[in-house]
Structure 1
Amino acid sequence: MFGVPVVVPNSSPVIRRAGSKAVISDYGSSESGIANEESFLFPLEVNEMKGASVAIMPSPVFLWRFKVLLFLLWGICCCKISWDSVMRMSANLRDLFLYEAFLYYNPLLLVTLTVWLWGINLWVFSQSSVNYAKVFDLAQNHLTHREIWKCATWMTIVVPTSMTAYLYLYSHGEVTLAASQPVFLYCIVLMLLISPFDIFYLSSRYYLLRTFWRIILPIQAITFSDFFLADIMTSMSKVFSDLERSVCRMVNRQVATIAWFEADSICGSHSIAIPLVLVFPYLCRLFQCLRQYKDTKEKTCLFNALKYSTAVPVIFLSALKYHVFPEQWVNFYRPLWLISSVLNSLYSFYWDITRDWDLSILSRVFKFKNPSLITSCLYGRIWIYYWVIGSNLVLRCTWTYKLSAHLRHNYITVFTIMALEIVRRFQWIFFRVENEWNKMTSKQNIELSTDLPKEEDPLLSSANHSVHTHTR
């Protein structure tokens, strides 16, 4: 205890720790004390140093918890700074101030939500028998759900940080620096998306860009990836509309100025570009269906094209409110808009259930025939099917709210409904991809069964052989 050396008998074994293992050493057989010191003390010191170095290394669980803690602290700081910045503004300008901030950043925030949900979809598919890489014809080095979540994490950090800087600088009078924040962020996103250098998942980025190009110009044969991404684009049509308004303001140098709100004819809610951008994804999907009918001659493609065409009256009848007299809107155009909205919602809901998901309510849901990914995971949980079908119907109807320009005054309500629509779409993905995988596997099974020889074929061949032998 006080530095007195402890004498260990030569004949007694001593238990020492080598790394993490207990080792029994009997050094009574050593020839001298010096040999004992070299064979025992030196290895003991080395092993203690190794043990110390291993103990210093933090565990992966600790690192993960530390990152989560930093992420939460960062989120709290951003919320605190943003709240204080908003409270600095005068009460009569605060609403316009927040409206402008949401206009710039809600497209990227919703894209971030989309990436997070897509990672969840891939994670669920990786745990099941659905080969999503084969469904989408992906390369072997395609992004996994972990890599998707890594991208979403960085987007979650960068976009709110830029928004916080915008609010802080604008509320403190640094208008020029505030105006540069969304412009700088959009430029970085565009450069990363089209960069030809082998950084930030080059092959996956170019796969996405090629798919976008095929959607815009459906010249060649349409693949499932083209249909799939175009359907997601229809749910994000309001995102594209806000993106167009944001870019319009950046080009016209109206960023971080309250006076822009009066210029509705350029980038405001009265602009003719808004209904054109809203309807663009639906037109792309409509042309895809027509192209598929040209290739396959299936009448189902025409009914699907009709479904997307029902969104066109909803969008343009709503936009007419700003270009006709109020009496005309109330007495004539608004009833037409209501009828077209109900027709679009119910038709889209019917198509989701019966065509995209291939869910027969009387068989697949309640009797669990043809078990597959979803029915296997949710077997015996009927309430989930009620939730999926009911929520899909409700959110199909509320989606009309975002397609209608005359209803988009409360930006917080619109943002919430847009987020719920994206959640509905990625809830839809589970059933849609599973249905496509079931079609692929059933087609492969049919082809294999036709290629295999029948059982009676060997018997017939042997009988023919015996007949020929007998005749000879």
Structure 2
Amino acid sequence: MKFGKEFEAQMVQEWQEAYVDYSNLKSILKDILRFKQLNNVPSPMAATIKGKLKRNASLYRAFSGLTSRFRPESTLNNNEDEVILVSAVQGRDGEGDYQTMFLRSNEEGAEHELVFFRRLDDEFNKVIKFYKKNVAEVIVEADELSKQMNALIALRIKVDNPVIGENDVVNLVPNGFSSNSSSIDHPTNAWSMMNVIQEEKKKEDNDGINGGEGNKKEGFKAAPLEVLDHVKINVEVGTPLSTLKAVIKSSKSNLSFSRKELRTAEEKITRAIVEFYRKLRLLKSYCFLNQLAFSKIMKKYDKITSRNASKAYLQMVDKSYFGSSDEVTTLMERVEDTYAKHFANGNRRKGMKKLRSQAKRERHRITFLYGLFSGCSIALIVAIIVNLHARALLNSVERDQYMVNIFPLYSLFGYVALHMLMYAGNTYFWKRYRINCPFIFGFKQGTELGYRQLLLLTSGLSLLTLAAVISHLDIEIDPRTQTFRTLTELIPLFLLILVVSIAFCPFNIIYRSSRFFLIRCAFRCVCAPLYKVTLPDFFLADQLTSQVQAFRSLEFYLCYYVWGNFRERSNKCEDSEVYRVFYIVVAIVPYWLRFIQCLRRLLEEKDAAHGVNGLKYLSTIAAVALRTIYQFQKQKTTAWLVLAAATSGMATIFNTYWDIVIDWGLLRRKSSNPWLRDKLVLAHKVVYFLAMALNCVLRLVWMQQVLGIQTVLFLHGTALTAVVASLEIIRRGIWNFFRLENEHLNNVGKYRAFKSVPLPFCYDHNGDNSM
């Protein structure tokens, strides 16, 4: 693999704008090579110049205002083999920038090389500023984690042995470090940054060598338990109970020194340390990849121009802060020691395994199984079609009865399987186009499902459903099995119980972590007013709005098996007023949950856009309710038709505009890509226009309920309803890809590559110094 592709594959996607623009630099080198080939420019190393004359300093060209006055005195003696001079100058923002002077500017084609070094300087200064900024941030975070660890150790001592004396407390206090100090200006400060991470290890070593006096010689002091007097426990306002408590009193509470409180603090700090270590690893990778990119591009320059400029430039890279700083490496070592000491019982291997969680390995059996299940599903579909035609079931007298009573029971699983199939396709394309969906959704590393696992679940569900359908048909048609008619009607119910049992299975099988993540998100959606709304929550709620017909199928299950006479395959559900009312209620519940989420975000974030989004869902609720009322009318009046069509039309326009402009970020008139965005993931722009057009068309499927299109399509009303519901699921699948693409690009624009992990302790200004 060429370095350019490997470089792009290994970079942190949210930081891609901060990396060296290797492809651009490479294209400039190609221009230099092309110029030399067209003009037959001789190699500078092979050219012989008789009577070499000293060049005046005024002949040298400089970039970005760099002139000869910036040259250090040691370089005033001109070296004839010297190609470039690199100096650090004071930039406009007060920071030092590195600028390169090209010393062969009077040669033919030198303007291309001038452009190359100007661009190279811009890229290097961009990289080093970004790296400095992030190192400064992780040092501040390390200081905060040190204080949190200090409080945690004190809390452990207090909970495990409340009567322990202060002299018996291990030393965990950082050695005179202040969070206001900058390790960028004083690199040695990084070595004292995380003393809390190694102080127990140092204490043990010093005790063994100096007879217990090591702490005094190292300047450490015992961590006082009085630090707990200045610490409060953070109550995360995110659960129903904490939300209600926050209304009554402060969101922070005093320590009660309970084991439950200790476990909660340990869990939060563990998550914070793991995420902090991940950030350090990515920073180290960022530094290494960019250094390698500068080395590669300078060697390419030397090869193309036959010069020897890489040595001088790479020496500057090595001597700069970017190449010489070791704060990140030091912090990584100390975090590893801390985690192994305090969270892995001193087992470093176990601690490293949790810190460096490995990505899931692809297994061939998953591919084999979903291929097998898919093949069996296709075979069952063919068998069902053959049965229908061979036995003329489509022209049977009981056709309408079967479509009204049985078809809705099995269509529920079809909706779920289709949605899972669309999500599997989304996952595949997100991965292909390097959209970081695990980070956006907040999946724990190594537990997210890939498209192969999703296809396995989808094909397994479809296989179970189709097997139930064909067994239902065979048992019903065969005269020898007529005595099992009651059992036949219970097959869909057994299938539903099986699927729900697998979803809620507490054992660690069939991707338990992903199942429970989905259940937690669904519970948070139901309790939307009492939970802080996160992206997975409202993303799932949006998926539920496209599964309205599935919720109605669940309602039909209840009616058919509780109030209906399923033994005789008859029911009067649609004749019941209660059923009709709940038929409307279950359809508007997903939109209502989404509306409540918008209100919660409006109150928390004070962003009027969430209020407008809430109005969008209110308009959809009105449209769905009026359409359903019109659908149930036996004598359809013009007034209800106008109301249903008007509300549905306004909701369609509102929703379509919001999908394309807000959720997808498209239709930007002044964009560099006309009517799209400035940044696009897909190379073919026509895909975006096709997606917008398809979204508009699929948004209009509600018209079949109002205009009665089923008489034109020669389909049974139940089958047409299933087709319309499936089209909505397909539309949602398309929406998912572009919605997450837009979210990913927003994260890239803001360099957001890490989750914000809440810390367990908060402390006042008086207690700050004591920690």
Deviation readout 1:140-194 (Å, 9 max, x if unpaired)? 1121111111111111211111112222223343421211210110110111111
Deviation readout 1:80-120 (Å, 9 max, x if unpaired)? 235446x3587332122123222101111110011111111
Are 1:249 and 1:267, in contact at CA under 8 Å, matched by a contact in 2? no
Question: How far, CA to CA, are the matches of 1:417 and 1:198 in structure 2?
Answer: 37
Match of 1:151 among 454, 457, 475: 457
Q: Say which is worse superposed, 358-367 or 240-249, in terms of deviation.
A: 358-367
1:370 aligns with 2:675: no
Q: Say which is worse superposed, 285-294 or 168-177, in terms of deviation.
A: 168-177
How far the C-alpha of 1:416 sits from its partner, in A, is 1.4
1:397 aligns with 2:700: yes
1:425 aligns with 2:728: no
Are 1:248 and 1:267, in contact at CA under 8 Å, matched by a contact in 2? no
Are 1:321 and 1:406, in contact at CA under 8 Å, matched by a contact in 2? no
1:217 aligns with 2:527: yes
Question: How far, CA to CA, are the matches of 1:243 and 1:84 in structure 2?
Answer: 32
Match of 2:629 among 320, 324, 335: 320
Counting matched residue pairs gives 379
What is the match of residue 277 of structure 1?
586
Question: How far, CA to CA, are the matches of 2:575 and 2:589 in structure 1?
Answer: 20
Q: How does 1:175-254 map to 2 (within 5 A)?
A: 175-218=485-528, 219-254=530-565
Aligned pair in 2 of structure 1 residues 64, 90: CA closer, same or farther (>3 Å)? Answer: closer
Match of 1:434 among 741, 750, 756: 741
Question: How far, CA to CA, are the matches of 1:322 and 1:445 in structure 2?
Answer: 48
Question: How far, CA to CA, are the matches of 2:753 and 2:449 in structure 1?
Answer: 31
Secondary structure (helix, strand or coil) at the match of 1:271 reads helix
What is the match of residue 469 of structure 2?
163
Are 1:238 and 1:278, in contact at CA under 8 Å, matched by a contact in 2? yes
Unmatched segments (≥5 aa) in structure 1 = 1-58, 448-472
1:131 maps to amino acid: N
Question: How far, CA to CA, are the matches of 1:196 and 1:405 in structure 2?
Answer: 47
Question: How far, CA to CA, are the matches of 2:512 and 2:544 in structure 1?
Answer: 22
What is the match of residue 654 of structure 2?
347
1:103 aligns with 2:414: no
Match of 2:689 among 364, 379, 386: 386
Sequence identity, in percent? 24
2:612 maps to amino acid: F
2:387 maps to amino acid: I
Aligned pair in 2 of structure 1 residues 249, 428: CA closer, same or farther (>3 Å)? Answer: same
Match of 1:137 among 439, 442, 456: 442
Question: How far, CA to CA, are the matches of 2:383 and 2:486 in structure 1?
Answer: 23
How far the C-alpha of 1:346 sits from its partner, in A, is 0.5
Are 1:130 and 1:434, in contact at CA under 8 Å, matched by a contact in 2? yes
Question: How far, CA to CA, are the matches of 1:73 and 1:368 in structure 2?
Answer: 43
Question: How far, CA to CA, are the matches of 1:66 and 1:150 in structure 2?
Answer: 9
Are 2:410 and 2:469, in contact at CA under 8 Å, matched by a contact in 1? yes
How far the C-alpha of 1:438 sits from its partner, in A, is 1.4
Question: How far, CA to CA, are the matches of 1:308 and 1:156 in structure 2?
Answer: 32
Superposition TM-score, scaled by structure 2 size: 0.46
Are 2:370 and 2:460, in contact at CA under 8 Å, matched by a contact in 1? no
Deviation readout 1:246-301 (Å, 9 max, x if unpaired)? 232122353363431x4533499x62110000000000000000000010010000
What is the match of residue 612 of structure 2?
303
Aligned pair in 2 of structure 1 residues 201, 120: CA closer, same or farther (>3 Å)? Answer: same
Aligned pair in 2 of structure 1 residues 265, 166: CA closer, same or farther (>3 Å)? Answer: same
2:427 maps to amino acid: L
Aligned pair in 2 of structure 1 residues 385, 193: CA closer, same or farther (>3 Å)? Answer: same
What is the match of residue 461 of structure 1?
none
Question: How far, CA to CA, are the matches of 1:62 and 1:191 in structure 2?
Answer: 25
Aligned pair in 2 of structure 1 residues 162, 446: CA closer, same or farther (>3 Å)? Answer: closer
Q: How does 1:428-467 map to 2 (within 5 A)?
A: 428-444=735-751
How far the C-alpha of 1:354 sits from its partner, in A, is 0.6
Secondary structure (helix, strand or coil) at the match of 2:487 reads helix
Are 2:701 and 2:724, in contact at CA under 8 Å, matched by a contact in 1? yes
Are 2:681 and 2:741, in contact at CA under 8 Å, matched by a contact in 1? yes
Match of 2:645 among 338, 355, 359: 338
More helix by share: 1
Are 1:179 and 1:256, in contact at CA under 8 Å, matched by a contact in 2? yes
Secondary structure (helix, strand or coil) at the match of 1:92 reads coil
Higher relative contact order (CA 8 A, sep 6+): 2
Aligned pair in 2 of structure 1 residues 279, 446: CA closer, same or farther (>3 Å)? Answer: closer
Question: How far, CA to CA, are the matches of 1:142 and 1:65 in structure 2?
Answer: 21
2:495 maps to amino acid: L
1:170 maps to amino acid: E
Are 1:245 and 1:267, in contact at CA under 8 Å, matched by a contact in 2? no
1:255 aligns with 2:566: yes
